[in-house]
Amino acid sequence: MSSVEIRVSEALRAHLIEGARRSVRAPIGRFRHPWLAPMPRVEERDATSSEDDRFASGDYANALFHHDVSEAAIELARDPELAEACFGSLLCFLDNAAPNGCVRRIEMPFRTRDPEPAKPCMAQLALRAIDGIDDGLARADAARVLPRVVAFAEYLERETTGMHGLLLTPSARASGFDSDVLTAGLPDFSVEGPDTNTFMVLELRAIAELARLLGEDAIARVHAEKAEALAERIETLLWDDAERTYVALRWQHGASGRRDEIVGHRDERGVQRPLRSWISMLPLYAGIAAPDRAAAMFDAVLDPAQHWSPSGVRTVPADDVYFHQAPRVMVYDPRRSERRPVSNWSGPIWVLANYYTYRALQRYGRAEEARELARRTVRLLDDDLRDTGALHECYDDSARGLWPRRGTFISWNVLALTMARGETPILRGEQENF
């Protein structure tokens, strides 16, 4: 596909890059390296403390989030200064890993914020960061990045593999998609879904590539084989021919068959149906889906009555009974024995979901639809910045920013710049995943 650049206003470009620079934090407390928060500090409050947890108010400026920094690095590693912060973030996560290899999903300078494991995204972050810094591979080798990301992958395989041989999602919170219908409200470590397992395929491929670059051919071979075995298992177990989508499973003792284990609901006619979510598209992002399956899924992705909105990809289709675009959702948190507000992934448009869909469209030869999605994403952020002076983490169909109420959300919003350039990332062998 030829590269076609989409115009980004200078105001938006400057806001994203300067916002990312203002999100870089100096070493402090347990963090011995520069690191990257998802947003600059909210100006109205005292910026002297790095211990505050103000997530409920939408202020994420005092913490290091696994998935935010990993995906933002796709764009930010182009800039040497920001690539250093991405690499430093990786080392902060690895330095504070548990003795059993677990890398936790949110870390703060003076304490671990959450005990749940991160998504399998550390090796992907490593590859992105080292491409952007001087002597990146040598520095990664000196910091023992490879054995530490291997230890994390082995922890996930050992501690979170479910009864179907797929990885269990620790919780909707830990997935990063806080209210996603396939996991929210269900017991922790009970769902084997397309998101966690797709990210594990990408992580195993990234470990294989990092090992190859470091001359560790045996490690590379083992992890490449694991990646393809897991991809095959996703295709075998999570694809549902009747619904033409990828589903999530919950193992049930005594179930008469796999269909009884699909995470679903009874529709208005009393028929058991799989729940629908944007995360079912993620096997397309990783190139796992067979072409005919990808084509079937794109029918739903590109349908204006379902996922395809004027502002991008709805995270739940608009014709679904569970679709809504509220700014926040109340979800029960068993750690605290209470309901708490979380980000809404049950209908709003997120730049991250737009980016993954954009890359999936590119991968399967849907170039014009990919460009149109890039145009819609850039327009969404341009209009938000012009109208409000800030950017939000999610939006409704009318392009109204939903959350947070204060500050400006940077994080993976920077991927709008990646999309605007129309670039296909450099292929590493056949691993078009970095």
Interval 208-258: pLDDT, tens: 999 999 999 999 999 999 999 999 999 999 999 999 999 999 999 999 888
Does pLDDT of 427 surpass 60? Answer: no
Q: Using the 8-state DSSP alphabet, how is residue 399 labeled?
A: -
What digits encode the pLDDT tens for the residues 285-314?
A: 999 999 999 999 999 999 999 999 999 999
Please give the share of the chain, as a percent, with pLDDT higher than 70: 94
In this prediction the pTM is 0.95
Domains and CATH numbers, the chain: 10-421 (1.50.10.10)
The three-class DSSP label of residue 7 is coil
Contact 399/348 with Cβ under 8 angstroms?
no
Does pLDDT of 348 surpass 80? Answer: yes
Question: What crossing angle do the helices spanning 194-213 and 122-132 adopt, rounded to 10°?
Answer: 40
Q: What is the full DSSP assignment across 231-249?
A: HHHHHHHTEETTTTEE--B
Across 327-341, average pLDDT: 89
Residue 273's Cα: distance from chain center in Å?
26
Task: Please state, as a whole number, how many other Cβ atoms lie within 10 Å of the Cβ of residue 11.
Answer: 12
- What gap in Å lies between CA 133 and CA 202, rounded to an integer? 22
In the chain, the N- to C-terminal Cα span, in Å, equals: 17
- What gap in Å lies between CA 381 and CA 392, rounded to an integer? 8
335: confidence class by pLDDT, cuts 50, 70, 90: confident
pLDDT value of position 4: 63
Q: What is the full DSSP assignment across 345-391?
A: -SS-B-HHHHHHHHHHHHHTT-HHHHHHHHHHHHHHHHHHHHHHSS-
Contact 352/308 with Cβ under 8 angstroms?
no
Q: Using the 8-state DSSP alphabet, how is residue 274 labeled?
A: E
What region does 365 belong to: left with phi over 0, alpha with psi -120 to 50, or beta? left
What digits encode the pLDDT tens for the residues 34-80?
A: 999 999 998 655 444 555 678 878 899 999 999 999 999 999 999 99
CA atoms within 13 A on the CB side of 370: 26
Does pLDDT of 1 surpass 90? Answer: no
Q: What angle do CA 131, 133, 135 make, to 5 degrees?
A: 90
